[in-house]
Chain A
Amino acid sequence: MTQQGVRWTADQVLALAPDAASREAGSRLGVAATWSAAGSSGDGVVWGLCEGSGGRPYRTVVDVVGVSGPAYECGCPSHEFPCKHAIGLLLLWAGGGDAVPVAEAPDWVERWIAGRRGRVAGKRTASSAGVTAGPGDQRAARRRAEQRAERITAGATELEQRLADLLRGGLAGAEQSGYELWEETAARMVDAQASGLASRVRDLGGIPSSGAGWPVRLLEECALLHLLDQGWLRRDRLPDDLAATVRSRVGLSASADGPAVRDRWLVLAQHDTADSRLTTRRIWLYGADTARTALLLSYGAAGRAPELALPVGSAFEAEVSAYPGAGRQRVALGERFTPPAPADIRPEGVTTSRAAVRYGEALRADPWLDAVPVTLARVVPVPDGDHWQLADAEGDTALPLSAPAGSRPGLWRLVALSGGAPVRVFGEFGHRGFTPLTAWPAGPGPAVPLY
């Protein structure tokens, strides 16, 4: 792997920043004069000394190709992660030129790499040790699982009662009762260790204030929640895959048990959603050989960026294995054989009609699915009143953009990229509409992240 191959673009670096303020602070530090003794190892470790206003410069080092995403270390006291120095250093490196030459790693960098790789190896040994647990441990684990299932069953039963009460009195009353009723119910589901039920219940609370058409949406979500309760209560009578889907939707985590699939994975999109507790990062991958779309989830505590970060438009060779459940779309990242490098792979695309069919088919395996990942082959962004849609370049059908997608800056990047001509767009499509995440121009050109 040449140095050029490992180098990221400024966009990719800026995507690592936890918030806008550190993006800006990092941009200011991405200039040669701020740094001394900067260098990179050619296999993805970048380091440098940042001259602060204080006496001693901060030592900053980044392992760009860490096993679970980039790893950072900086001598500064910042709580941001990665800190502005790490962002600045990566920007300088991404900028090319002689600012960050390939060099021998100094001692302090060597020590950090050695320590880090030791830790990762230790973790791996620990997890493989779990697989060979003795029969006594297995019995204890089974007992714990049974206890938990009983709690969830109690929770689901209680939830069914509450839903029935709601429907008996009428949804019209839900507008007045507000969040509190739902928050309390959600707390009961957390006690029942059913995090999936809890978050669905919490979402119900927001629907009555979500604008026109809320009764329809509230009925839909209540009905699907009821369906999930019923699925759980009768899980032993469901086909295996559907039962696995129900278990994961209810909130029981399983481990990725699918066979390892090795491919050259294109990073299709990376986007974060955050609530007060947790930042969830969704990374969509596309296998160049298998033409398979897979989802990586990564989490960070509130206010911190999840540790796994992969630059959109780059590709790397790795093994992934699927989690149980419908479509086996969610995967865990296994061994990585190459670092992410810019690639000109583009995912196969379909028409808007085909995209709609795909969502319908996916619902058969997972009726709770809000959207499926899909690439539209040749579409044109078209204004539609106050909203936008993506229309097939050949044909007269279109998918409307989802409401949040229509109000994000990414929409305008997509429109600008298209200029009225067909583009290839990857995104998520479901009953709320299409959410574009990444686009490619009609001619040659790199992927443009829209999120």
Chain B
Amino acid sequence: MTRTPTPTDARVPTPVTAPPGAWEELVTAALLGTDRRTPPGCAPGAHAPTALLDAAAAETVRRRAGLRPAPAGRRPEPAPEDRRPPLPAAAARRLTTLLTDRPGTAGGGRRGTAPDLMELLPQWLAAANAHGFAPPPEALPALLDAARGRTDLRPAALAFAGPRGLWLARLNPDWRFALRATPGGGTALPGPEAAEQVRRLWEEGLFAERVALLAALRSRDPAGARALLASTWPTERAEDRLMFLDSLRSGLEPADEPFLEAALADRSRNVRATAAELLSALPDSALAARMAARAVTCVFLDRTLEPPAIAVEAPHECDPGMERDGVVARPPSGRGARSWWLGQLVEAAPLAAWTSRFGGRSAEEIVALPVTDDWQGDLHAAWCRAAVRQRDGTWARALLGAPTAPEAGGPGAVSLAERAKLLGTLGPDERATWVAGFIATHGLSEAFQLLGMCTVPWAPPLGRAVVDALDIARDAGSYPWSFSGVMGLAERCLDPSEAGRLDGLLAIPDESEDAAPGAGGYWAEAFQRLVTTLRLRAAMAEELRAG
């Protein structure tokens, strides 16, 4: 290494170096050694190294003593003002604690009775956003880091982070996700500038930015989003068209029909299929009417049977008209072509068509009709998909049936996954009541998926049903970790006011003969954690109310 070193690093303050060159010569002599290079102003020989060190010492102190500030770089634009009121002090402290908790670092293994703070962060953020508080600026980096690691946190975390959070994200590449999630990087302007900005971002933005822009615009101005999309539609690439089309799913309205109908003739099969799917979610659309006409010819009431039953004559071919309307001709492997086509026709037909097809019978009466030749599974599954797509509560209710029915716990014509989706079309209370009834009859082991559909905090009957079922599971002598999924949900979703009802479950019960060894202690611990977490959630809510 003999190259002459850079005397100063650009980052450190600028030293005053006069006379110029003296220091460089000292460094060169030091690198090569005084045996090879005599430093300036020294006699060669035994004393040269000491003379070099003397000179270098004087020069080092001189350079450091003469440090001057560097010229200032270009300042960042100041962060936009955040008009929200600041968090109350106790809530700000809580946020610090929640953000300090990182999953998987606290020894691992059994959780003991301590709550999982990271799991409470989403709830805390939702509540803080509902109150409309602004975060303490110094908490923003930890907040953005948390949102970086957990995509599910992002919408709430970014809403809470507010304008200063976006301002900060623009300065750190690690937080670029925040800009992608917010069209225009959050620099939303009102009035005509906004329109101009939207237009420019739509034409020049990255794909992810354009998707985010379209989705955001769609949520507040469906027609404007449609017009923006139509303006460049023919020039977009096929996979981009598919993603853009998907954004029409939210806020779908009858006025979308002409655009979607045109997309049925798209070059891309996936675009055609998505357009057809969206059209079928508009029960008054021409496509829905065409599909209804096809579907009703395949399904009819056979009155010669006693009692009368639904008979099915599945399509014998997939004609070009069907294909144009989005029916996929090739079935997946292992699936019969005719039942595949039938399923698609029924799924896309408006549910109202069946009432007239079956002599004015209600949804409930139609679902109750027997179906011949093993077609019930196909037919009911297609109706489920139609009810979800058309958000039809009446049909969903009919297909769900009574939660206490033996087949509700499966196996039945309607799977648990389908029931969970059907629940999504009902109101929150009805949903909670149905799941509570289900748990009371069938226990917890199948309930996880259904519980995930219920609004938080759980309505009282649902909370009681879950706690009772946990109590029963404990008495049955199993270990609590068989129910850790439901237990974790309960920690996050039970109404904190229910904590008092759990007191009776905290004690370690006497071990019965048939119980799993030690299970009682583990259950007491699990319930303690549940109560601790509920109390903590109550405290969190109280702190946010203090504003």
Instruction: Answer whether residue A397 sits at the interface, using C-beta atoms and an 8 A cutoff.
Output: yes
Inter-chain contact A391/B172, CB cutoff 8 Å: no
Instruction: Answer whether residue B167 sits at the interface, using C-beta atoms and an 8 A cutoff.
Output: yes
Closest chain A CB from B205 CB (angstroms): 23
Given contacts A31-B115, A441-B137, contact A433 B69 (CB under 8 A): no
Choice from B5, B57, B138 contacting A226 with Cβ under 8 Å: B57
Chain A residues whose CB sits within 8 angstroms of the CB of B531 once the complex forms: 33
Given contacts A420-B77, A448-B138, contact A27 B97 (CB under 8 A): yes
Chain B residues whose CB sits within 8 angstroms of the CB of A356 once the complex forms: 13, 67-69
Choice from B54, B65, B105, B535 contacting A364 with Cβ under 8 Å: B65
Known: A219-B60, A389-B73. 9 other contacts (CB 8 A): A21-B105, A222-B30, A222-B56, A360-B64, A361-B65, A389-B72, A416-B164, A417-B138, A420-B78
Choice from B32, B74, B528 contacting A33 with Cβ under 8 Å: B528
Chain B residues whose CB sits within 8 angstroms of the CB of A9 once the complex forms: 93
Chain B residues whose CB sits within 8 angstroms of the CB of A11 once the complex forms: 93, 96
Instruction: Give 28 pairs: A residue, B residue, CB < 8 Å, sorted on A.
Output: A20-B105, A21-B106, A27-B117, A33-B113, A167-B48, A168-B48, A169-B33, A172-B32, A213-B6, A215-B31, A219-B56, A219-B60, A223-B59, A223-B60, A224-B57, A226-B50, A227-B61, A356-B68, A360-B66, A382-B73, A383-B73, A391-B73, A398-B70, A412-B172, A416-B138, A417-B137, A419-B137, A431-B13
Given contacts A53-B525, A95-B90, A383-B73, contact A212 B9 (CB under 8 A): yes
Give A27 to B53 CA distance when docked, in angstroms.
53
Give A29 to B114 CA distance when docked, in angstroms.
6
Given contacts A163-B49, A383-B171, A431-B12, contact A353 B54 (CB under 8 A): no
Smallest CB gap from A84: residue in B: B106
Instruction: Answer whether residue A384 sits at the interface, using C-beta atoms and an 8 A cutoff.
Output: yes
Closest chain A CB from B157 CB (angstroms): 14
Smallest CB gap from B2: residue in A: A172
Give A34 to B535 CA distance when docked, in angstroms.
11
Given contacts A34-B113, A383-B171, A397-B71, contact A220 B532 (CB under 8 A): no
Chain B residues whose CB sits within 8 angstroms of the CB of A391 once the complex forms: 72-73, 75
Inter-chain contact A399/B35, CB cutoff 8 Å: no
Chain B residues whose CB sits within 8 angstroms of the CB of A432 once the complex forms: 12
Choice from B12, B53, B78 contacting A167 with Cβ under 8 Å: B53
Interface string of A341-362 (1 = CB under 8 A from B): 0000000000011011001110
Closest chain B CB from A286 CB (angstroms): 20
With a 10 A CB-CB cut-off, give which of B97, B105, B531, B535 has the most chain A CB atoms. B97
Instruction: Answer whether residue A281 sits at the interface, using C-beta atoms and an 8 A cutoff.
Output: no
Give A395 to B69 CA distance when docked, in angstroms.
11
Instruction: Answer whether residue B102 sits at the interface, using C-beta atoms and an 8 A cutoff.
Output: yes
Interface residues of B (CB under 8 A from A): 1-2, 5-9, 11-13, 26-27, 30-36, 48-50, 52-54, 56-57, 59-61, 63-79, 90, 93-94, 96-97, 100-102, 105-107, 112-115, 117, 137-142, 164, 167-168, 171-172, 525, 528, 531-532, 535-536, 539
Smallest CB gap from A380: residue in B: B75
Chain A residues whose CB sits within 8 angstroms of the CB of B142 once the complex forms: 409
Instruction: Answer whether residue A261 sits at the interface, using C-beta atoms and an 8 A cutoff.
Output: no
Give A14 to B50 CA distance when docked, in angstroms.
50
Give A382 to B171 CA distance when docked, in angstroms.
10
With a 10 A CB-CB cut-off, give which of A21, A212, A413, A448 has the most chain B CB atoms. A413
Give A399 to B67 CA distance when docked, in angstroms.
10
Choice from B7, B59, B117, B535 contacting A32 with Cβ under 8 Å: B535
Instruction: Answer whether residue A301 sits at the interface, using C-beta atoms and an 8 A cutoff.
Output: no
Instruction: Answer whether residue A175 sits at the interface, using C-beta atoms and an 8 A cutoff.
Output: yes
Inter-chain contact A171/B105, CB cutoff 8 Å: no
Give A217 to B49 CA distance when docked, in angstroms.
17
Inter-chain contact A412/B536, CB cutoff 8 Å: no
Closest chain B CB from A349 CB (angstroms): 15
**Size of chain A's interface in residues, with CB distance under 8 A?**
90
Instruction: Answer whether residue A278 sits at the interface, using C-beta atoms and an 8 A cutoff.
Output: no
Give A211 to B139 CA distance when docked, in angstroms.
33
Smallest CB gap from B28: residue in A: A215
Inter-chain contact B72/A14, CB cutoff 8 Å: no
Instruction: Answer whether residue A421 sits at the interface, using C-beta atoms and an 8 A cutoff.
Output: yes
Inter-chain contact A164/B49, CB cutoff 8 Å: yes
Give A398 to B71 CA distance when docked, in angstroms.
6
Give A58 to B43 CA distance when docked, in angstroms.
74
Chain A residues whose CB sits within 8 angstroms of the CB of B69 once the complex forms: 352-353, 355-356, 392, 397-399
Chain B residues whose CB sits within 8 angstroms of the CB of A94 once the complex forms: 93
Chain A residues whose CB sits within 8 angstroms of the CB of B6 once the complex forms: 212-213, 216
Give A395 to B70 CA distance when docked, in angstroms.
12
Given contacts A24-B106, A409-B141, contact A363 B78 (CB under 8 A): no
Give A224 to B62 CA distance when docked, in angstroms.
12
Interface string of A7-22 (1 = CB under 8 A from B): 0011100100000110
Give A166 to B113 CA distance when docked, in angstroms.
61
Inter-chain contact B36/A170, CB cutoff 8 Å: yes
Chain A residues whose CB sits within 8 angstroms of the CB of B105 once the complex forms: 20-21, 24
Give A31 to B537 CA distance when docked, in angstroms.
11
Instruction: Answer whether residue A387 sits at the interface, using C-beta atoms and an 8 A cutoff.
Output: yes
Give A387 to B171 CA distance when docked, in angstroms.
11
Instruction: Answer whether residue A91 sits at the interface, using C-beta atoms and an 8 A cutoff.
Output: yes
Choice from A23, A355, A360 contacting B65 with Cβ under 8 Å: A360
Smallest CB gap from A88: residue in B: B114
Closest chain B CB from A15 CB (angstroms): 11
Inter-chain contact B75/A53, CB cutoff 8 Å: no
Closest chain A CB from B85 CB (angstroms): 14
Choice from A33, A160, A224, A389 contacting B60 with Cβ under 8 Å: A224
Inter-chain contact A97/B539, CB cutoff 8 Å: yes
Inter-chain contact A216/B53, CB cutoff 8 Å: no
Inter-chain contact A34/B138, CB cutoff 8 Å: no
Choice from B13, B96, B168 contacting A399 with Cβ under 8 Å: B13
Chain A residues whose CB sits within 8 angstroms of the CB of B59 once the complex forms: 223
Chain B residues whose CB sits within 8 angstroms of the CB of A32 once the complex forms: 535, 539
Give A430 to B63 CA distance when docked, in angstroms.
11
Chain A residues whose CB sits within 8 angstroms of the CB of B75 once the complex forms: 380, 382, 391, 420
Give A420 to B93 CA distance when docked, in angstroms.
25
Interface string of A136-161 (1 = CB under 8 A from B): 00000000000000000000000010
Instruction: Answer whether residue A51 sits at the interface, using C-beta atoms and an 8 A cutoff.
Output: yes
Chain B residues whose CB sits within 8 angstroms of the CB of A431 once the complex forms: 12-13, 63-64, 67
Chain B residues whose CB sits within 8 angstroms of the CB of A274 once the complex forms: none
Query: Of residues 107 to 142 in A, which have CB atoms within 8 Å of B's CB atoms?
Result: none
Chain A residues whose CB sits within 8 angstroms of the CB of B9 once the complex forms: 212-213
Given contacts A215-B5, A387-B11, contact A359 B102 (CB under 8 A): no
Inter-chain contact B532/A31, CB cutoff 8 Å: yes
Q: Which 8 A-B pairs have the closest CB atoms?
A: A170-B33, A420-B78, A419-B79, A28-B114, A391-B72, A223-B56, A397-B69, A167-B49
Smallest CB gap from B99: residue in A: A27
Choice from B2, B66, B102, B167 contacting A419 with Cβ under 8 Å: B167
Chain A residues whose CB sits within 8 angstroms of the CB of B140 once the complex forms: 412, 416
Give A167 to B28 CA distance when docked, in angstroms.
11
Smallest CB gap from A384: residue in B: B73
Inter-chain contact A216/B7, CB cutoff 8 Å: yes
Instruction: Answer whether residue A367 sits at the interface, using C-beta atoms and an 8 A cutoff.
Output: yes
Chain B residues whose CB sits within 8 angstroms of the CB of A172 once the complex forms: 1-2, 31-33
Inter-chain contact B61/A383, CB cutoff 8 Å: no
Given contacts A33-B532, A420-B75, contact A167 B33 (CB under 8 A): yes
Instruction: Answer whether residue A96 sits at the interface, using C-beta atoms and an 8 A cutoff.
Output: yes
Inter-chain contact A219/B27, CB cutoff 8 Å: yes
Chain A residues whose CB sits within 8 angstroms of the CB of B63 once the complex forms: 431
Chain A residues whose CB sits within 8 angstroms of the CB of B115 once the complex forms: 28, 31
Give A447 to B164 CA distance when docked, in angstroms.
19
Choice from A220, A353, A355, A433 contacting B56 with Cβ under 8 Å: A220
Query: Of residues 29 to 55 in A, which have CB atoms within 8 Å of B's CB atoms?
Result: 29-34, 51, 53
Give A170 to B528 CA distance when docked, in angstroms.
69
Instruction: Answer whether residue A252 sits at the interface, using C-beta atoms and an 8 A cutoff.
Output: no
Inter-chain contact B67/A30, CB cutoff 8 Å: no
Chain A residues whose CB sits within 8 angstroms of the CB of B93 once the complex forms: 9-11, 94-95
